Amino acid sequence: MIFWTTLLVIHGLFALALLGAITHQSAALWWSVRDRAGSFVARFRAVPGTPYVTAIILLYVITFILGAWIYTQYRFTARVALEQLRFFRTVGVFELKEHLATIGSIVLPAYWTYWRQPLTQDYANARRHVSLLLAILVWCNFQIGHVVNNARGMGS
């Protein structure tokens, strides 16, 4: 069980890094400011989005693979316990997570395409929307994972 708990913690850490990167990029896209100087929030909004792209794709893929691996253990241990405890909503919301994670992974090729260098103005809107969609998916999955882990996490 220590192995799976460690893997879950690593998955969580990658997810946290991904959440930070995609939130940073989306905030800079949708709520941008030109002047870097000023408050912490203004600096947060003023970052260029391009350097985050490769990191976001890599973090998503690693987090996805780790999550898919841990899922095998969850399926016949934690989930069985959740069902016995009649936590059907928690189980149901985790079913949603697997589909949201899949949607996120199939958005990645389009995300990479729209962020390819040199950035074209033709894809400016598509870039904003795809990045926001990915951010929403990552946020949803992070929250769901957190809720399920708190309900009856690995190793509990």
Q: How far is the CB of 128 from other proteins (least distance, A)?
A: 16
Q: How far is the CB of 75 from other proteins (least distance, A)?
A: 5
Dist. CA 73–CA 76, nearest whole Å? 6
By CB under 8 A, tell whether 110 contacts other proteins.
yes
Size of the site for other proteins (CB under 8 A): 21
Dist. CA 60–CA 105, nearest whole Å? 8
From the list 74, 91, 58, the residue with the least C-alpha distance to 7 is 74
For residue 120, the SS3 value is: coil
Residue 81 one-letter amino acid: A
Q: How far is the CB of 109 from other proteins (least distance, A)?
A: 4
Dist. CA 29–CA 24, nearest whole Å? 9
Window contacting other proteins (CB under 8 A); options: 30-38, 51-59, 106-114, 134-142? 106-114
Binding to other proteins (CB under 8 A) within 50-89 occurs at: 68, 71-73, 75-76, 79-80
Tokens standing for residue 105: 């992974």
- List residues near other proteins by CB under 8 A: 68, 71-73, 75-76, 79-80, 98-99, 102-103, 106-107, 109-110, 112-114, 116, 123
